Structure 1
Amino acid sequence: MSQHIRTRDGRCLHLIRRGSSEPVVVFESGIGANRGSWTLVEPQVQAATLVYDRAGLGRSTPDPGPRTVSRMTEDLLDLLAAAGIRRAVLVGHSLGGVVVRHVAHLRPELVAGLVLVDQVQEELPHYHEGKRFRLVSLGYRTGALIARTGLLKLLLRGRLHRDFPPEIAREITEEELSPGFLKAAAAEVRALPGGLAELPPLRLPQVPTTVISAGRTGPAEKRFRPVLIETHRAFAAALPHGRHVLAERADHLVPLQQPDLVAAEINRLL
């Protein structure tokens, strides 16, 4: 069921919910990504599910404020409250991993388990390099300007999301190549270092938690990927109910490249 809910400040967030049992598996996408991230994972989950679009991404309205982790966490908590969800398994990819851990820190009674998919580890210096993320943000903003001409859709339509069902591929691609989507993604990227710096130290999750690391090295990751994998492994080992899994056939885009593995780890927690 597709619907919109309102945040505490009146903005609309778009969600799609399937089933009504609890715990509900709730998906939080990576930076600059919408519900499409979970297209290949969600149908394999053996429970009720909820996917949604963060502010400005997909069918949700934009947010005029800074898109910090705290702001994203507030939106997710508003979403859970409006949807009447009292118990959830939270699944977060990349920056989404920090968001769902922040929810577990603030409202542990809501969280039955966590699946953290190649998550951001906020203590690593890599994620605090402001210049790097300003340049990436500039790339998104440039893309938004090009998108206004229609050139991006002309060049990329039919090339993205070839593994998706055709109707879903067209819908998600249309959204991702829109100026508004790219502008919202730029805002998320630009706010990342500052948003991580302002977070309080997050308590270690006390619920069953699976940490999935991408096993393949993506572009510009030659030095960083081994460090991230070891940090993920150490993080999982420090948890009372932690498990570390290596997605050997995927780079950072694990939900798109090894969706079966992600779904299997979610189903293990149900």
Structure 2
Amino acid sequence: MTSLHTYHRGDGLPVVLLHAFPLDHRMWDDVAAALPATRPIHAIDLPGTPGHDDQLPPPSLDTSALRVADALAGAWIERAVVVGLSMGGYVALALAERHPELVAGLGLVDTKSVADTPEAAANRLRIAQEVESAGTVDAVRPMVKALVGETTLAARPEVADRVEAWIGAQPPAGVAWSQRAMATRPDRTRVVADLSVPVTVVVGDEDGLTPLAQAEHMVAASATALLVVVPRAGHLSAVEDPETVADALEELAVRAEQGA
């Protein structure tokens, strides 16, 4: 089963947060704390995270999206603002494609709608094999320097230490599973274009993994998207500047409630 973690119960339209790779729901703790306590706020641990790495199905982000749908149904959530960062954004797009009725608004944070290049997909598969063979997550520990922006690394090294600890807590089998699932995902730009609900695209201006050009690509595809650039933040803008990201997501939730 996929775990749903509730930060606030509140009233109104729920916000559901989907985490990046190779992390889990804890990366959203500070954003959830910055969102209004009057709004239902939930985060979901995707397949492969601690406690969710046994008897994994064949790798697929569509499977992750279906498990998100099941988690929402189990919590009696019929419609929500769905927000995903990086891999969480890929899963949010898969959910919007398969279950558009669940998505009242879409937040795409430091992510992209295009598929991996053949070279990037091959690298994911190589790392998956390496992690699996070694039985450790050592192959992905260096990712912290790509995930966290240069300004944060220099001025607040404790943020990088926190991210590194989260990475170290991930099960090797889950890391391998997620890499293989991401390697096979399709281009979902069409999903962004077809959505009629409000969309907000957020990107750190120091994000080197899914840079501003990828955010602009999604905004250009959508008739309803707004772009928010987070200054002095990298790929984990939600961890590096949770207040700015929370403000963008609350604005998205208000637009979704208003049907704008």
Matched ranges for 1:125-164 at <5 A: 125-126=116-117, 129-141=120-132, 144-145=135-136, 162=158
Q: Which residue of 2 aligns with 1:157?
A: none
Q: Which amino acid aligns with 2:88?
A: G
Task: Spell out, residue by residue over 1:21-61, the C-alpha distance to the aligned partner (whole angstroms, 9 max, x if none).
Answer: 23111011122321111011111112111112112313335
Where does 1:189-268 land on structure 2 (aligned, <5 Å)?
Answer: 189-196=179-186, 201-202=190-191, 204=193, 205-218=195-208, 228-268=211-251
Match of 1:114 in 2: 106
Could you tell me which runs of 5 or more consecutive residues in structure 1 were left unpaired when the two chains were aligned.
Answer: 1-11, 148-160
Residues 79/251 of structure 1: CA separation in 2 closer, same or farther (3 Å cut) = same
Against the structure 1 CA distance between its residues 127 and 57, is the aligned structure 2 distance closer, same or farther, given a 3 Å change threshold?
farther
Match 1:32 to one of 19, 22, 44: 22
TM-score, normalised with respect to structure 2: 0.76
- Superposed CA deviations along residues 216-253 of structure 1, whole A, max 9, x for unmatched, are 154xx5xxx6xx42232132133221111212211111
SS in 2 for 1:39: helix
1:180-214 CA distances to partner (integer Å, 9 max, x unpaired)? Answer: 623201211123222337x7953522111111122
Q: Partner letter of residue 238 of structure 1?
A: A
Structure 1 residues 114 and 63 mapped into 2: Cα distance closer, same or farther (>3 Å)?
farther
In the alignment, the residues of structure 1 paired with residue 214 and residue 61 of structure 2 have an alpha-carbon distance, to the nearest angstrom, of 20
Partner of 1:13: 2
Find the counterpart in structure 2 of residue 183 from structure 1: 173
Q: Structure 1: how far apart are the matches of 2:137 and 2:68? A: 31
Question: Which residue of structure 2 lines up, in the alignment, with residue 5 of structure 1?
Answer: none
1:98 aligns with 90
- Residues 14, 59 of structure 1: 8 Å contact kept: no
Corresponding residue to 2:52 among 39, 45, 60: 60
Aligned residues: 231
The structure that is helix-richer by fraction is 2
- Closer/same/farther in 2, CA of residues 146 and 41 from structure 1, 3 Å limit: closer
User: CA separation in 1, counterparts of 2:109 and 2:118?
Assistant: 16
TM-aligned CA distance change 1:101 to 1:146, over 3 Å: closer
Runs of 4+ in structure 1 deviating by more than 6 angstroms, as ranges, are none
Shift of 1:83: 0.8
What is the aligned partner in structure 2 of residue 151 from structure 1? Answer: none
User: CA contact under 8 A between 2:192 and 2:222: conserved in structure 1?
Assistant: no
- Give 5+ residue unaligned stretches, structure 2: 139-156, 255-260
Question: Does the CA-based 8 Å contact 1:23-1:89 persist in structure 2?
Answer: yes
- Aligned residues: CA RMSD: 3.0
